[in-house]
Structure 1
């Protein structure tokens, strides 16, 4: 599927970078157990939530305004919202920490 609207393209880029940076922080935490990674991760989640929230509002407004691109808009929103369960899963991994003694 080709993305025509720039707001959808930008939202997908933001979602991709949010996913990648969150994954890198999770892996860094699991490998190093450096306490500051958790603090960095919490700040990252707050900043990402604000940025993603603003972007999501823009996507909803774009969906209303450009309703004739409904497939592209709904696909973008669906992919964008996939970061929410991924973030919850990453949070549960950090809290439960199933790999506590695996790497050390």
Structure 2
């Protein structure tokens, strides 16, 4: 599917960057077990959550205004929302930290 609307393109960029940075921070924390990386990750989750909420509100508004592009809007909204369960999963990994006994 080709993305036509600029707000949807920007939302996908934000969602992708949020996912990639979160994944890198998780991996770096699991490797280093550093409290500084943990603090940076916590700060990142707060900032990324606020940014993604703002993007989500913009997407909902755009979907209402430009309802003729419902399929594109719905796809973009779903892809942005996918970051929520990923963040919850990463948080569960940090809390349970399966690598703590090895380092």
So what's the TM-score if we normalise by structure 2? Answer: 0.98
What does 1:82-93 align with in structure 2 at a 5 Å threshold?
82-93=82-93
- Work out the number of aligned pairs and report it: 103
Q: Runs ≥4 in structure 1, deviation > 3 angstroms? A: none
SS in 2 for 1:64: helix
Gaps of 5+ in 2: none
Aligned to 2:7: 7
What is the distance in 2 between the residues matched to 1:94 and 1:37?
12
SS in 2 for 1:101: helix
Gaps of 5+ in 1: none
Please report the RMSD computed on the Cα atoms of aligned residues, expressed in angstroms. 0.7
What is the distance in 1 between the residues matched to 2:34 and 2:42?
14
So what's the TM-score if we normalise by structure 1? Answer: 0.97
Aligned to 1:34: 34
What is the distance in 2 between the residues matched to 1:26 and 1:85?
15
